[in-house]
Amino acid sequence: MGACRLQEQLREDRNIGRITDFILILQHPPVLTVGKSGYKPEHILVTDKTLEHDGISLCQTNRGGGITYHGPGQLVCYPIFNLRNLGLTVRQYLYNLEEVVITSLAGFGITGQRLPSAPGVWVEDAEISSIGVHISRGITMHGFTLNVNSDLKHFSYIDACGVSGKKITTVARISGTDISMENLILPLLRSFGQIFNLDITQEQSKSLDIHYE
């Protein structure tokens, strides 16, 4: 099932009350996704042949922002939340998402910070987490990424969201440890519970064939 289609289904289920607030955590195969801001051809810095050789596809989405990269080693978090029930504005929601990442990173001795000029979470001058959301009828989809042990080479293939020369980093690089994706999931869920005042229940992991469509 496509990641976008799955989120749309979950969002509709949340809208009619079939499910409660839901957090989808996964990692994608290599893909360049394009948000509603679009992209220019010069934002992709390699040839189609290089993308094909590395197995990187291109997909349009309805999230905010421009072009970005997803791939193995990057934790992707898609909250399906009812903002009206939570009493949150869009600005407050985005701030809370950043706070979830910052709080989780602090548990690993990493100081994440916000930059006034750019969304997401940064460690010094390098982005470690990007944010792009879509909200309809008060229900959210898309969310944030957290670079855990990503191959940074693929980020160099683009001017991420049209920002030339943007530095990217990972939890593994900053911490100097061979950290796994599983090490981050529980801290993230705890942070979600704390910051959004939610009672988080972790469902049993399932193996799903999720990709962009």
Give 160-170 pLDDT, tens digit per residue.
Answer: 655 556 799 99
Residue-wise pLDDT tens digits, 112-160: 999 988 889 999 999 999 999 999 999 999 999 999 999 999 998 988 6
Closest CA to 144 of 191, 111, 110: 191
Residue-wise pLDDT tens digits, 13-28: 999 999 999 999 999 9
Domain locations in the chain as residue ranges: 3-196
Query: Terminal CA-to-CA distance of the chain, rounded, Å?
Result: 8
Going by pLDDT thresholds of 50, 70 and 90, the confidence category of residue 213 is very low
Q: Which of 4, 59, 77, 161 does the annotation list as catalytic?
A: 161
Q: Which residues contact 113 (CB under 8 A, 6 or more apart)?
A: 102, 121, 122, 123
Q: What is the DSSP letter of 5?
A: H
Q: Can you give the pLDDT at residue 209?
A: 44
For the 3-196 domain, the top CATH level (class) is: alpha beta
SS3 153: helix
Mean of pLDDT over the chain: 88
**Amino acid (1-letter code) at residue 106:** A
- Which comes out higher in pLDDT, residue 202 or 48? 48
Q: Can you give the pLDDT at residue 133?
A: 92
Q: Can you give the pLDDT at residue 41?
A: 78
Closest CA to 78 of 151, 170, 171, 11: 11
Apex CA 43: angle with CA 130 and CA 99, to 5°? 10
Prediction pTM value:
0.87
Strands 131-136 and 126-129: unpaired
What burial class does residue 166 get, using C-beta atoms within 10 Å of its C-beta: 0-12 exposed, 13-18 middle, 19+ buried?
A: middle
Tell me how far apart the alpha carbons of residues 66 and 49 are, in angstroms, rounded to a whole number. 22
Highest mean pLDDT among 2-16, 53-67, 134-148: 134-148
What burial class does residue 181 get, using C-beta atoms within 10 Å of its C-beta: 0-12 exposed, 13-18 middle, 19+ buried?
A: middle
- 4 assigned to active site: no
Q: Which residues contact 119 (CB under 8 A, 6 or more apart)?
A: 94, 98, 130, 131
Q: What is the DSSP letter of 35?
A: -
What average pLDDT score do residues 63-82 get? Answer: 90
Q: Can you give the pLDDT at residue 208?
A: 45
